[in-house]
Chain A
Amino acid sequence: DTAVSQTPKYLVTQMGNDKSIKCEQNLGHDTMYWYKQDSKKFLKIMFSYNNKELIINETVPNRFSPKSPDKAHLNLHINSLELGDSAVYFCASSPRGGYGYTFGSGTRLTVV
């Protein structure tokens, strides 16, 4: 199936741990993104990569580090997890120009 797939779907971890979320798209899109959805459903962009190059880095703590090994993958690594990091994280991709975003199904991260 053509899609944006992210793993894991659920992640429960303790404060202070380091965790990664993986994202892959097979749509041939040039640009990939990470968005965070908080408990009130508000969606905010975190990062954007175009062809492995970082092009958007919003005000995100340094504990969050995206990595794009190739244009089909954009992983998110989080160090020293905090309670406030609990949220749903969505990966997305789009062709150049930003039209036709496709979102992954989300990773629900719970920090305890």
Chain B
Amino acid sequence: GNSVTQMEGPVTLSEEAFLTINCTYTATGYPSLFWYVQYPGEGLQLLLKATKADDKGSNKGFEATYRKETTSFHLEKGSVQVSDSAVYFCALSAETEKLVFGKGTKLTVNP
């Protein structure tokens, strides 16, 4: 079946550091890929998405590129801020339309 594997963390960085959160997937067909963010005590918000190979999703300084050859969708940000502290979820959506999530990566950014 479809699945998503992401680095589990937790990840702790200093402000302005570079962030990478790895995400790989297994899916039949051609899934759409997503990153969601969950701030403390809140629901999930869509951070960015990519619907086909080589697409790059970007939002709020975060980027991820859909790599079909490596089945990956790694999340990156060049300079993190304290306000980026949250749990980040990689997810895919295939033919059934349901979202399959990775286990989440907790990011803490210290001033």
Contacts and interface: CB of A to CB of B under 8 A. Distances in A.
A106 B43 contact: yes
A42 B103 contact: yes
Interface string B47-77: 0010100000000000000000000000000
Which range holds the interface residue count of chain A? 20 to 34
A99 B32 contact: yes
A1 B51 CA distance: 28
Nearest to A99: B32
Interface in B72-98: 87, 89, 93, 96-98
B101 A31 contact: no
Q: Is the interface of A mostly helix, strand, loop or mixed?
A: strand
Contacts of B104: 41-43
Contacts of A102: 46
B99 interface: yes
Interface residues of B, number: 23
A100 B101 contact: no
A33 B97 CA distance: 10
Interface of B: 32, 34, 36, 38, 42-46, 49, 51, 87, 89, 93, 96-101, 103-104, 106
Interface of A: 31, 33, 35, 40-45, 48, 56, 90, 92, 94, 97-106
Given A41-B106, A43-B104, 6 more contacts: A43-B44, A43-B101, A98-B97, A98-B98, A103-B43, A105-B42
